[in-house]
Structure 1
Amino acid sequence: MNEGVKTIIFPVKDLDGAKRLLAVVAGGEPYMDEPYYVGFKIAGQDVGLDPNAHDKGLTHPTPYWHVDDIRARYQELLDAGAESVQDVRDVGDGKLVASVRDADGNILGLIQPAS
């Protein structure tokens, strides 16, 4: 099952500066504020700031599709011609993420929520 894009992650170099600006746009403080990730909920959309994203190959804002079987969907994308950017990995408490690059260089992310 695909629940659509529910998360967008921005790679940032200045986490504090980006957090201040996004707090203005969001109209409030983040729900998660850690040195490795700052997350805001805006009208049901999860918007994240990741200071380590550049090291993971993410150079632009990346949409993340929420899926129920990340490994199958990731392999289907690779089989369809996508290039792996980040293999499936657990980012904590069973939440899995992965990302691929299409032929035009766009990065597509996948998230499987913890079960």
Structure 2
Amino acid sequence: MTTTLGIRTVLHPVTDLAAAKAVYTALLGVAPQTDSPYYVGFDAEGQHIGLVPDNGKQQLTNPVSYWHVPDIEAKIAEMTAAGATVREAANEVGGGRLVATVVDTDGNVLGLIQDR
């Protein structure tokens, strides 16, 4: 299967959401598109940067890059056949968007996103 994949979303774990929001607003030069107590998201020139509090559902300990794929289940199957393991199975997070995470053979977390 040949597809053009791209990293367009990166989530960063933060301990102080308000402080991080100020820093990323200064860095990116734009106000957040999504601003809630459990997630702050910025869209800057086609790149989505998300801030997730350390008590968030994702339990992130490091930034995670999310690859946008046309078929998340097929990509998970390909990756697990190649040796990756599923960390978080595909689930809908709203608006038909599916997200999942897998872990490569070195323990790196890789995110996957499928938009409908």
TM-score by length of 2: 0.89
Please give the per-residue CA displacement for 1:57-101, whole angstroms capped at 9, x wherever unaligned.
421111100011001101211111112111101011210000111
Q: Distance in 1 between matches of 2:113 and 2:86?
A: 15
User: 2:15 is matched with which residue?
Assistant: 13
Q: Which runs of 5+ in 1 are unaligned?
A: none
Question: RMSD over aligned Cα, in angstroms?
Answer: 1.6
Moved over 3 A (4+): 52-55
Please give the per-residue CA displacement for 1:21-68, whole angstroms capped at 9, x wherever unaligned.
100101121111112211111221111111257653421111100011
State whether residues 30 and 44 of structure 2, in contact with CA within 8 Å, keep that contact through their aligned partners in structure 1: no
How far residue 106 of structure 1 moved from its aligned partner, in angstroms, is: 1.1
User: 2:67 is matched with which residue?
Assistant: 65
1:93 matched to 2:95? The reply is yes
Q: Which runs of 5+ in 2 are unaligned?
A: none
Q: Distance in 2 between matches of 1:94 and 1:55?
A: 18
User: 2:82 is matched with which residue?
Assistant: 80
Match of 1:102 among 77, 80, 104: 104
Percent identity over the alignment is: 46
State whether residues 58 and 107 of structure 1, in contact with CA within 8 Å, keep that contact through their aligned partners in structure 2: no
TM-score by length of 1: 0.89
Q: Distance in 2 between matches of 1:37 and 1:54?
A: 8
Q: Aligned residue pairs: how many?
A: 114
Q: Distance in 1 between matches of 2:89 and 2:46?
A: 27
State whether residues 84 and 103 of structure 2, in contact with CA within 8 Å, keep that contact through their aligned partners in structure 1: yes
